[in-house]
Structure 1
Amino acid sequence: MEGLFKFLNIFVLVFLIARDLVNSTNVQKRFEYKYSFKPPYLAQKDGSVPFWEYGGNAIASSENVRLAPSLRSQKGAIWTKNPLNFNEWEVDIAFRISGRGRIGADGMAFWYTQAKGSYDGDVFGSSDQWVGLGIFFDSFDNDNKHNNPYIYAVVNDGNKKFEHHSDGTTQQLAGCLRDFRNKPFPTRARIEFHNNILTLLFHNGMTNNEQDYEMCFRVENVFLPKSGYFGLSAATGGLADDHDVIHFLTSSFGASSSVPGQPVLTDDQQRLQQEYLEYQKKLEQQKEEYRKDHPNEKEPDLEDWFESDNQRELRQIFQGQNQIYEVMKELNRKLDEVVGKQERTIGLITQQTGAVGSNIPPAQGQSSPPAQASGFVDTIRRHEVDAMFNNQNQMVNSIRELRQFILEAKQRIDTVINNQAKAPTAQVQAVGYDTQSIINEVRDGINHVKSNVAQVASQLGQGYKCPQISCVSLTTILFVVVLQLAIILGYNLYRDSKDSQSKKFY
């Protein structure tokens, strides 16, 4: 019974989808070039866009319209010159919002309002307290809730001020969290207003498929003013992005006349209708002539040539079921592949664990595991896998520490080799070597002075003698010598300590 209920649910769902598709074909859709722009030759030589007007910091080129450049405190907008002469519409917008920063600001807005907005307003570059619809592509998080970039719709009757500090959280009809900044392909938004239902489909710009849309929001019972204006605007703040619109394509539903049920026929349409009536008369005449020439032939039943509405619905239902069956078969095949990969992985882990565990003797007080039954192999357990992973992690950490130690030793050896290359004649001396050499030098100097004094005395005469009264006593000389030796010794000790400290860094 449960399978039957599932089948019935799928059948009803496919039937409703098929019915919607059949009904949607009855809606006439017409492209409105006076409310659209697209490249190439988007802007004329004088910089104007046909049927549109722009201002503020907006710039129009042959390929796109840059509403706001990536500079601080820039605002710009573009609006249709004439109001709409239809009430239900669909708009396809292709745009790029890109910048160097990780966070962008402030964003872009789509407008359908009763009157044109300004070109340097407070709400994404347009006027506040508008009458109509505004759909905002907000790229800056003003309320610090980490929910941006965000797309949302706000309907205003002209009496409400937009709550920019809270990103319009309490005023929006619906919204969705979508990232539309810095995408490889242009992002797109398809906005549809039909039967008082507002729908927005979004293309994230990650693929080049123009039909890769996803639902952002759908709101019923939305009432908008008649004969409004289309507009686009953008603004930057302390942060800045380039806000480029590549195309803006508008289509209307039903007749373009403002009064339903009274379509206006042009001269071409009247001429084509007259030709159609003439061909109908000629066809009837040819049928009468054929019946006269072939009186015995029966007229074919034209109903057998064409399928009825019920047959078409059944055919569409069966086609939908076949597609569902193909998708489920593909999912089943992928599931089998995943299960097969899991089984192979478990088998490899089991083999490795058996090879490692066969060389480990059982602990004292424990007996070896019993032999398994023929044809049955025990699989690896969770705690064994955890133990194996822990051992591998410990081995990896030990290898990393050993590698770090080897690198440090290598760096020290390289430093010693470089120092020896800079001073190849340097030799390691004992701590007291410098002090002993200095004492020897002082002693040699005193001996040299004594020899010089003896030579001078011999030249002055054999009877020359030193004066009895000495200006400097022997004690003073010894004190000065000892003081110099102490200073030299202290300096050498200080220098050796500095050298030993500097060697610790190698």
Structure 2
Amino acid sequence: MTFSSWRLRISVAVALFLSSVAALNMLDSLRREHSLIKPYQGAGMNVPQWDFTGSTMVTSNFIRLTPDQQSKQGAIWNSVPCYTTKWEFQVQFSVHGTGRDLYGDGFAIWYTKTRMQLGPVFGNQDLFSGLAVFLDTYNNHNGPHNHEHPFVSAMVNNGSAVYDHDRDGTHTQLAGCAAKFRGKSHPTHIAIRYEPSVLKVSLDIDGKNQWTECFRVEGVELPTGYYFGVSAATGDLSDNHDIVSLKFYNLEENVDPNFTLQRSHIIPSAKTSEAQREHVEDVPPSKIGKVATSGLKVFGYIILIIIVCIVLIFGGIFLYQYSKEDRRKRFY
């Protein structure tokens, strides 16, 4: 065996060893009080350290926040506040339904001051305080934007900003990326990693255990003592929004209690957000057919008016020529 072959084998062995060490470290840092993993313990809707609301249904293989039905809202919330300053929250999920071209609305992952409040923002209250990561599948927006759907974005709020569905939240988002996670034959993953001032979101859509960075934002300040949750909503369009697992990892080393205490008093903030754009009202899916029919009628009327005008013009020309010829004949 050649030296280069030995060197390749050694490199592969070292890489596998380092990967195993990293996996063990992540396993050691897993915190059960903020995690939800199969088999879901408890009876019925009673799962220790987690509360459910709305249309949420617990099964043996997943937790369904909403069924593939219109006008549903559901959510799960951790009942234990998080006092970790450096963490990673991984969500394994599946979004699917019968809709081929029209579906929605999507779901959101929360780290907020209040919990268990159903509302208009993917099944949670508006004017929240904390962090939201939106996984928006609603693909019928009329406002101008530069991205496809599904779309993943983040928003930090101090309780004063309104999330605007008609603008996809782009006037308040920190960053985002298109991610085709809907309708996969396997569950997909998202990882939200936070350390003071830095927020990073990564995705594993193909199920290859390989993270792809969606975005990374600096200047993000989040306090300790908030709650993790996941919520989903359907409107005129619908989907199944299923959560398979929630895993929280504590990434802190040499924790300073004074620093943790200081972080509990800060106000959620972010230095940057994307530029605002003009507000454009959405057309509800139930009215799309009416709008299209109305547009066809208007187009038909326009064509009819054009045809009538052409007939009148040519008719006028014909009459003028006829009268002119008639006068000429009488003159001679």
TM range (shorter): 0.5 to 0.7
Distance 2:62 2:120 in 1: 24
Letter in 2 for 1:152: S
- Alignment partners' CA distance in 1, 2:30 and 2:36: 12
2: CA distance, partners of 1:107 / 1:256: 38
Contact kept in structure 2, 1:69 and 1:241, CA below 8 Å:
yes
Mapping of residues 293-304 of structure 1, within 5 Å: none
Change (3 A) 1:57 1:258: farther
Would you say 1:226 and 2:227 are equivalent positions?
A: no
Please say if 1:162 is aligned against 2:160.
no
CA distance in 2, matches of 1:153, 1:143: 21
Higher relative contact order (CA 8 A, sep 6+): 2
Please give the alpha-carbon distance, in whole angstroms, between the structure 1 residues aligned to 2:130 and 2:96.
28
Distance (whole Å) between structure 2 residues aligned to residue 187 and residue 216 of structure 1:
14
Find the partner of 2:52 among 31, 51, 54.
54
Query: Which entry has the higher C-alpha Rg, 1 or 2?
Result: 1
Residues 98, 131 of structure 1: CA spacing in aligned structure 2 closer, same or farther, 3 A cutoff? same
TM-superposed deviation, 1:261: 8.3
1:45 Cα offset (Å): 2.2
Match of 2:109 in 1: 110
Mapped to 1, the partners of 2:230 and 2:254 lie a distance apart of: 23
Give the distance between the partners of 1:140 and 1:159, measured in 2 at CA: 25
- Would you say the 8 A contact 2:92–2:244 is kept in 1? yes
Specify the alignment match of 1:193 in structure 2: 194
SS at match of 1:165: helix
Greater Cα offset, 171-180 or 246-255: 246-255
- Alpha-carbon distance change, 117 to 46 in structure 1, aligned in 2, over 3 angstroms: closer
Q: 2:62 aligns with which of 61, 64, 69?
A: 64
1:255 to 1:85, Cα distance in 2 relative to 1, 3 A: farther
Please state whether the residue corresponding to 2:126 is helix, strand or coil. Answer: coil
Give the letter aligned to residue 36 of structure 2.
F
Instruction: Kindly provide the amino acid, as one letter, of the partner of residue 106 in structure 2.
Output: G
CA pair 257-77 structure 1, distance change in 2 beyond 3 A: farther
Map 1:227-242 to 2 at 5 A.
227-242=225-240
Question: What TM-score does the superposition give when structure 1 sets the normalisation length?
Answer: 0.44
**Quick one: distance in 2 between partners of 1:169 and 1:236?**
20
Cα distance in 1 for partners of 2:243, 2:54 equals 15
- Residues 299-324 of structure 1: per-residue CA shift (max 9 Å, x gap): xxxxxxxxxxxxxxxxxxxxxxxxxx
Partners of 1:55 and 1:261 lie apart in 2 by 34
Give 1:39's aligned amino acid: K
Q: What residue in structure 1 maps to residue 75 of structure 2? A: 77
CA distance in 2, matches of 1:232, 1:65: 11
Alignment deviations for residues 132-157 of structure 1 (CA, whole Å, 9 cap, x no partner): 10000000132355621100001111
Equivalent residue letter for 2:125: S
Please state whether the residue corresponding to 1:34 is helix, strand or coil. Answer: helix
Contact 1:129 1:159 in 2 (8 A): yes
Q: Is the 8 A contact 2:104 2:137 kept in 1?
A: yes
What value does the CA root-mean-square deviation take over the aligned residues?
2.5
Higher strand share: 2
Classify 1:236/1:85 alpha carbon distance in 2 versus 1 (closer, same or farther; 3 Å): same
Aligned-residue offset at 1:196: 1.9
Secondary structure of 1:31's aligned partner: coil
- Measured in 1, the distance between the counterparts of 2:67 and 2:256 equals 38
Unaligned runs of 5+ in 2: 1-17, 261-332
Match of 2:154 in 1: 153
Percent of aligned pairs sharing the same letter: 34
Aligned length: 235
- Distance in structure 1 (CA, Å) of the matches to 2:37 and 2:214: 24
Alignment of 1:85-484 (within 5 A): 85-102=83-100, 103-118=102-117, 120-141=118-139, 142-144=141-143, 145=145, 147-204=148-205, 206-207=206-207, 209=208, 211-254=209-252, 259=257
- Scaled by the length of structure 2, the TM-score of the pair is 0.66
Change beyond 3 A, Cα 1:149–1:45: same
Q: Read off the aligned partner of 2:163 and give its amino acid letter.
A: F
8 Å contact from structure 1 (residues 107, 236) kept in 2: yes
Contact 1:143–1:167 (8 Å) recurs in 2: no
Contact 1:111 1:135 in 2 (8 A): yes
Whole-angstrom CA distance in 2 between matches of 1:73 and 1:258: 46
Please tell me the residue identity of whatever aligns with 1:116: R
Could you give the per-residue CA deviations for residues 141-183 of structure 1, whole angstroms, max 9, x where no partner exists? Answer: 3235562110000111101111111111111000001111100
In structure 2, do the counterparts of structure 1 residues 43 and 69 end up closer, same or farther at CA, with 3 Å as the change threshold?
farther
Q: Indicate if the aligned counterparts of 2:74 and 2:231 stay in contact, CA closer than 8 A.
A: yes
2:196–2:221 contact (8 Å) kept in structure 1: no
Greater percentage in helix: 1
Residue 239 of structure 1, CA deviation: 1.1
Q: CA deviation at 1:62?
A: 2.4
Indicate how the Cα distance of structure 1 residues 76 and 43 shifts in structure 2: closer, same or farther if over 3 A, else same. farther
Q: Distance in 1 between matches of 2:259 and 2:131?
A: 27
CA contact (8 A) 2:153 2:173 kept: yes
